[in-house]
Chain A
Amino acid sequence: MINLLGVTKVYPGGTTAVGDLTLAMPTGQTTVLVGPSGCGKTTTLRMINRMIEPTGGRIEIDGVNTADLEPGELRRGIGYVIQGGGLFPHRTVLDNIMTVPLLLGWDRRRAKSVATELMERVGLTASLARRYPNELSGGQQQRVGVARALAADPPVMLMDEPFSAVDPVVREQLQDEFLRLQAELGKTIVFVTHDIDEAIKLGDQVAVLRVGGALAQLAAPAELLADPADDFVADFLGHDRGYRGLGFAAAPALPISAEPVVALGASAEDARRVAAGASWLLVVDDASAPVGWVRPSALSGRVEPSDLHRGGTLARLGGTLRAALDAALSAPSRRGVLVDDDGRLVGTVRAADVLAEIEREPGVRP
C-alpha cells in the first residue's frame, strides 16, 4: 500500500505542481493518475521514489515513511518506466534490462537468465537481445522499458505514460499485454497517462487530477463513468460515457437464439434452403467459428469468402453488455453473434434484449 498523506510540491519558481494530495494506492492493484498536461502527474510519481522531494506532507510505502529510506535503496526496490523511454542508447537490450539486477550485485549469469526470461514475457523475441535501442521499433522500445523496470521483481512499479509514443494499434496491443502481465504478477502499480480511455481500461482505480495537482475524483472506472463528481471530470471523461460504462457491466443470461448456419463452400441452393427466406445467413468455418454473413438471394455459385459481409463484431459468452450490444448493432442482420472461449458459435442475441437487460437493472453494475 502506497499512501500519499497531504503531499504538496511547490517548485522554486512558485508553481504549485501538487497541492495537498491524499491518496491511498492498494497493494496488488493498478492506480491510474490521469489529468490534463501539467497537472502534476509526473511530479507525483517522482515524489514516490524521491527523485523529487515533497515540500509538504509525507509518503508511506507499507507503513514506512519513504523520507527515512536511503534514496538509492528505495529506488532499486521500485520499478520505474520513464516518460519518453529513457533506454540507455549505448547498451544492448539485454544490458538495459540487466541494469538493476547488476546494481543489486546479482552475478551476471543469473541477471542474464532473468533478463532473457523477461524479454519473452513482454513479447520480445530473443534475437533482439544484442541489439541497441535505436535498432528497435517504438513498440519494442516500450517493451524493453517495461522489462527493465520489472527486472529485479520489485513489488511496486511506477509507470509514466509508458505507451504514449506508439501508434494506436500497437498501443492497444501493449495495453492488453499489460493487463495479462499484471493478472500474473499482481504488482502495486501507479500508472500515469493523460488518455482517459487508457485509464479506464487499465485502472483498478482511477485518480483524476486537475491542474495544481488536486484530486478531482478517485473511483473505480465504472463508477467514474456512471457518476462523475463534477463538470471537470465529466468533460474530461468525454462522450459516450453511458455506452463505455457498459464495458464494465457483465452480460448476464441474455436470451440466446439458435442461429441457422451454412459452412463455407456450401451451394447457393443449400444456403437458400437453410435461410428459409431470411435476408442474411451466418457462415461458419470447419471449426464452427463464425466468419461472416451472406445474402442467400445474391448467391450464384458456392459460398465463397468473397461473398462474406464481415462488419459484425463477435461477443464472447459471459462478456460485457457493451460487447453484446455492439455485436447486435454491427451485424447486418441485427442479430449479435455470441461465441464461446474457443471462438465457436453459441447463438445470437438481439439489441432489444440487451437493452431490456440494461433497463431491468438500473445503473451500471460493478
Chain B
Amino acid sequence: MTWFLGHLPQLGSLLLTHAVLAVIPLLVGLAVALPLGWLAQRYRWLRAPLVAGTGLLYTIPSLALFVLMPLVLGTGILDPINVVIALSVYTVALLVRTVADGLAAVPDEVVQAATAMGVGPARRFFTVELPLAVPVIAAGLRVAAVSNVSVVSVAALLGIAQLGSLFTDGFARDFVDPILVGIVACMVLALTLDVVILSLSRVLTPWTRRGRTA
C-alpha cells in the first residue's frame, strides 16, 4: 500500500500509456475489419479464406510478433508503433469473423426492403446493415479490448514502458507489491474499456431495449 501511494504519478503515466497502446489498435483493427467483414459477407466464396486467414494471425505468439515487427517495418525495437501494429493485427483477427457474423444476422427482408426502395449498396451498408450489426460487433470489440489490455503487458519484456513494466520490475527485484498493483490496474483498465464499449453500444441501439417481448 505504501508502495502504491509512493508511486502514484509513475503509475498514472504507465496506466495512460497502457490504455493508449490498447485502445488505438482497437480502433485501427475495427477500421480494417469492417471492410474485410463486409467482403466476407458480400462474397460468400471469400468468407472461408478471409475468416480462417485472419483467424490464423491470432495464433502467432505475441512476443514473436513484437520482435518481428521492427524487422518487417524497419522501426526501432523500442518504438511503441510495433506494439500498436501487432495488436491491430490481433484485433483484426478477432473482429473479421464478428463483423461478418453481425452483418449476416441482419434480417434478409430488411436488406431487401432497403434495396427495393432504391437505397444504393454503400448507403445501405452505413444506414441499415452496420447499425443493425452494432450489438454483435460490440460484443466482439469487448473481447478484443480485454485481450489487448492483457497482451500489451507482454511488451514490457522488450522494454516498452506500461503497466507490464511493473511485473518485470517486481520480478527482477523479487518484490510483490508492484506486481499486485499492476494486476489490479490492468483489471480496472479492462473493466473500464468494457463498460465504455457496452455503454456506447447501448446508446447506438436504443431500439433493442424499447421493444415489447411479443
- A residues with CB within 8 A of B: 46, 49, 51, 71-76, 80, 82-91, 99-100, 103, 131-132, 134-135, 148, 158
Complex: A73 Cα to B118 Cα, angstroms: 7
Could you tell me if A89 and B118 are in contact, using CB atoms closer than 8 angstroms?
A: no
Interface: B120 (CB within 8 A): yes
Nearest residue, chain B, Cβ from A160: B116
Does B150 make an interface contact (CB < 8 A)? no
A80 to B118, CA, bound (A): 10
CB of A75 within 8 A of CB of B118, answer yes
Q: Chain A interface: which of B61-69, B88-96, B205-213?
A: B205-213
Across the two chains, which residue of chain B brings its CB closest to A49? B116
Nearest CB in chain B: distance from A12 CB, A: 13
Contact with A along B95-115 (1 / 0, CB 8 A): 000000000000101101111
Question: Bound state CA distance, A85 and B111, in angstroms?
Answer: 11
User: In whole Å, how far is A130's beta carbon from the nearest beta carbon of chain B?
Assistant: 10
Given contacts A89-B132, A135-B212, contact A100 B109 (CB under 8 A): no
Do B112 and A82 have beta carbons less than 8 Å apart? yes
B214 interface contact, C-beta 8 A? yes
Task: Flag whether B128 is at the interface (Cβ < 8 A).
Answer: yes
Q: Does the CB pair B113–A86 fall under 8 Å?
A: yes
Are B214 and A80 in touch, CB under 8 angstroms? Answer: no
A75 to B132: give the CA distance in the assembly, Å: 23
- Find A90's partner among B118, B205, B212 (CB 8 Å cutoff): B205
Q: Is B117 touching A100 in the complex (CB atoms < 8 A)?
A: yes
CA distance A72 to B206 in the complex (A): 30
A51→B205 contact, CB < 8 A: no
What is the CB-to-nearest-CB distance from B122 to chain A, in angstroms, rounded to a whole number? 11
A75-B128 in contact (CB<8A) = no
With CB as the reference atom, state the residue of chain A lying closest to B120: A72
Q: Is the CB of B113 within 8 A of A82?
A: yes
List B contacts of A46 (CB < 8 A).
Answer: 116
B118 to chain A, nearest CB (A): 4
Interface presence of B131 (CB below 8 A): yes
Within 8 Å by CB of A51, from B116, B128, B131, B214, lies B116
Q: Which residues of A contact B112 (CB under 8 A)?
A: 51, 82, 86
A82 B118 Cβ-Cβ under 8 A? no
Q: How far, in angstroms, from A84 to B113 measured CA to CA in the complex?
A: 10
B60 → chain A closest CB, angstroms: 37
B119 within 8 A of partner (CB): yes
Contacts of A158 in B (CB 8 A): 116
Q: Which residues of A contact B207 (CB under 8 A)?
A: 89-91, 132, 134
Cβ < 8 Å to A, chain B residues 177-214: 205-207, 210-212, 214
Could you say which of A49, A84, A148 contacts B109, with CB atoms under 8 Å apart?
A84
Chain A residue contacts of B110, Cβ below 8 A: 86-89
Residue of B nearest to A149 (CB): B117
Q: How far is the CB of B109 from chain A (nearest CB, A)?
A: 4
Partner of B212 from the list A74, A88, A134, A148 (CB cut-off 8 Å) is A134
**Separation in Å of the A323 CB from the closest CB of chain B?**
37
Cross-chain pairs A/B with CB under 8 angstroms, 8 sampled: A51-B112, A71-B118, A75-B117, A82-B116, A90-B205, A91-B207, A99-B119, A158-B116
Tell me whether B116 and A80 are in contact (CB under 8 A). yes
Q: Mark B128-161, 1 if CB is under 8 A from A, else 0.
A: 1001100000000000000000000000000000
Please determine whether B113 and A132 come into contact, CB atoms closer than 8 angstroms.
Answer: no
User: Given contacts A88-B128, A89-B132, is CB(A135)–CB(B211) below 8 Å?
Assistant: yes
Report how far A88 CA is from B208 CA in the complex, Å: 12
Closest to A80 in B: B116
- Please measure, in the bound complex, the distance between the C-alpha atom of A72 and the C-alpha atom of B116, giving whole angstroms: 8
Interface contact A103-B211, CB-CB below 8 Å: no
Q: How far is the CB of B134 from chain A (nearest CB, A)?
A: 9
Q: Report yes or no: B211 in contact with A134, Cβ–Cβ below 8 A.
A: yes
Residues of B within 8 A of A72 (CB): 118-120
